[in-house]
Amino acid sequence: MKDGERLNETQIAALAKKFRMAAGKSQLDAARELQVSKPAISQAENQPDKSFFKLRKRMIENYSPFKVVGPAYWLERK
C-alpha cells in the first residue's frame, strides 16, 4: 500500500481489521478502547456495505501509522 492510494469501503473495512489484528487487539479490546459495542466492531470489519466509515477511520488511525483522508479516502502517514 502506498501513501495517497485511493481506497473503497471494502478496502477500508479490510484495513481496519488488519490493523486491529496486527496491534494484537481483539474485537472486544477495540470496542472498549473506542467506546463502541463489540457488534459495531464486527460489522465495521465484515460488512463494508454498512455505514461505519467513521468507526473504520478511527480503527485505522488508532492501530496504524496512517490517517484516512477523504472524501475519496486514501491513506497518508501521520
Q: Where are the domains of the chain?
A: 9-77
Q: How confident is the model at residue 2 (pLDDT cuts 50, 70, 90)?
A: low
Q: How confident is the model at residue 18 (pLDDT cuts 50, 70, 90)?
A: very high
- Answer whether residue 24 shows pLDDT above 70: yes
pTM over 0.95: no
Q: How confident is the model at residue 47 (pLDDT cuts 50, 70, 90)?
A: very high
**Domain boundaries 9-77, corresponding CATH code:** 1.10.260
Classify each residue of 33-68 as buried b or exposed e, where b means 16 or more C-beta atoms within 10 Å of its C-beta.
bbebeeebbebbbeebeeebbebbbbbbbebbebeb
Comparing 2-11, 13-22, 37-46, 62-71, the range with the smallest average pLDDT is: 2-11
Residue 11, classed as helix, strand or coil, is: helix
pLDDT on residue 5: 72
